[in-house]
Structure 1
Amino acid sequence: MKPIVSILGTIAAIALFPHIAQASAYTTSNRSTSIHISELPGRSGSAIGTGYYSTSVGGREWGGNFQATSVTSSGGIRTYTGTFTDQRSGPGATQQCKGQLKLQRPVSNSGPARLRATWTITGGVNCPSAVGSILKLNLTEAVPVANSSGNFLASNANTIQSETAGNATWPLWVVTDPTRLNCRATAPSGTVVTTFPKGSTVDVGYLGLNSFITAGGASWLRVPSKNCFIRANSQYIKPKLMPF
């Protein structure tokens, strides 16, 4: 079968989801391919998966979207089955592919969620892959990773949808401090406005570049709802998993 470029896509497809909060993101280990999925209420009240995907392979980019027609759970695995369409961007003759897409993820997990994606080609316009070709990829939920000093910054704690611009911070954080985490009016030694106990979730919303500040040689994260700052270090917080 043909390489990934035959059926995956560009980040331009983000326009399908103007609100970052809608999508949960998964990526391959080298982040060359990402998949974004959300669950929206169906007509019958059940959740229906929909989303988009992107990649850059060999200097050529593809963008696509998919719509689940069925969502089932069995044996601890949630499966989305539906259709996809995609297209290569850039100059040259039109290249499009379409077919069936199946996404599978564990219903519960102790770490970042895993996603198994299977594309089956059924047609298209100048699609590089033959009808019947199948591509499978393993992806992992794309959560922020602290730097070598354990600090979370605007550059490494944004969402994958905005990682090049840093204009949307990861919204939910779990307190890992062994006792409690102080939230100060000003960093680094301002009045303690409130405290968050170990294991509690801190919601900072989807802030932009001003969500993080450096004070006293340390990184701090703004908590808008409390109008205070918490230490943004892996000793004190970790990103909360948000897989759909």
Structure 2
Amino acid sequence: MSLIWCAAASATTYVNPNGKTTLNLSEKANNSSSFYFTRVGNRDFLGNIQITRSEGAAGSYYYNGTFKDHATGPGRKIVCSGDISIIRHQVGRSSLGAEVTWKVKEGENCPSIGKTFKVNLVEALPLPNASGDYTSSNSNTWLTQTAGSATWPAWRVTSRDGQLNCRKTANGAIQTVYRADKDTVAAELRGVNAITMANGQPWLLTRQGCYVRANSQYVQPVSMPE
């Protein structure tokens, strides 16, 4: 059973390696509502999630709630519902993972009643291209990746010397310097797309009104939430 879970803002998106499962978790409040998509066999399902309890312990965060989904498109009506639990944990240095468990309890024409499904996911951080560059089409959030807009909001300095020049214009004079040990590079999101091209190279416009080179040698996306 592979699932796609999408929620509102202030959420983190998780995927599995084969791309069939994507989950967007609202992580900061109880009684939060989300929704998901899933493909089971040749049917697509749309579901709703209600998180009723969340708590942190020993480097992980635990969420519990209920779900209800229904098949979309042509075919007979199928509705499934039950309990859901999520364990959020660190994966590597800069990303998060989510272990998600669905316990199907009831439904209409639901073939999964009485079954439990578990999927391990990792956060859907932007990935650079073969040259290490983040462009307008690969530096964005999961919810807008097909549109090539809404740049990922937070980045960390990865320069070897731990310092990153931020320039008044792309390739221009230095305005400020970000430091790996103290600074998070915040993208300027008020224009939606914070990436600009100069001499064939992408640059990231920051909230400080200056530009840093948008390449994995210098910056990488920060897990959300930090």
Same fold (TM over 0.5): yes
CA distance in 2, matches of 1:231, 1:24: 25
SS of the residue corresponding to residue 170 of structure 2 reads coil
> How much does 1:117 deviate?
0.6
> Which residue is equivalent to 2:66?
83
Q: Give the number of the structure whose residues are more often strand, by fraction.
A: 2
Q: Deviations over 1:11-62 (max 9, x none)?
A: 7xx5x52xx3x111111112211111113445xxxxx554332234555322
User: Given residue 19 of structure 2, which amino acid in structure 1 is its aligned partner?
Assistant: R
User: Given residue 35 of structure 1, which amino acid in structure 2 is its aligned partner?
Assistant: L
Show structure 1 runs of 5+ residues with no match. 43-47
Determine if the alignment matches structure 1 residue 156 to structure 2 residue 112: no
Q: Deviations over 1:113-162 (max 9, x none)?
A: 11111101111222232x21111101001111111111011211111111
SS of the residue corresponding to residue 167 of structure 1 reads coil
Determine if the alignment matches structure 1 residue 197 to structure 2 residue 179: yes
TM-score by length of 1: 0.81
Counterpart selection for 2:37 from 49, 54, 59: 54
CA distance in 2, matches of 1:39, 1:210: 25
Q: Deviations over 1:164-190 (max 9, x none)?
A: 1122111000011224212222212x2
CA distance in 1, matches of 2:92, 2:170: 35
> Which residue is equivalent to 1:36?
24
Mark the CA change 1:208 to 1:160 in structure 2 (over 3 Å): closer, same or farther.
Answer: farther
> Which residue is equivalent to 2:158?
176
Cα RMSD, aligned residues only? 2.4
SS of the residue corresponding to residue 113 of structure 1 reads strand
Mark the CA change 1:214 to 1:242 in structure 2 (over 3 Å): closer, same or farther.
Answer: same
How many residues align? The count is: 224
Map 1:63-78 → 2, pairs under 5 A: 63-78=46-61
Counterpart selection for 2:80 from 90, 94, 97: 97
> Which residue is equivalent to 2:197?
214
Determine if the alignment matches structure 1 residue 166 to structure 2 residue 148: yes
Q: Which one scores higher on RCO, CA 8 angstroms, separation ≥ 6? A: 1
Kept in 2: contact 1:174–1:202 (CA 8 A): yes
TM-score by length of 2: 0.87
Instruction: State, as a whole percentage, how many aligned pairs show the same letter.
Output: 38
CA distance in 1, matches of 2:73, 2:42: 10
Q: Deviations over 1:76-129 (max 9, x none)?
A: 332211100112221222222110001012268634211111101111222232
Show structure 2 runs of 5+ residues with no match. none
Tell which deviates more after alignment, 171-180 or 190-199: 190-199
Kept in 1: contact 2:12–2:27 (CA 8 A): no
User: Given residue 39 of structure 1, which amino acid in structure 2 is its aligned partner?
Assistant: E
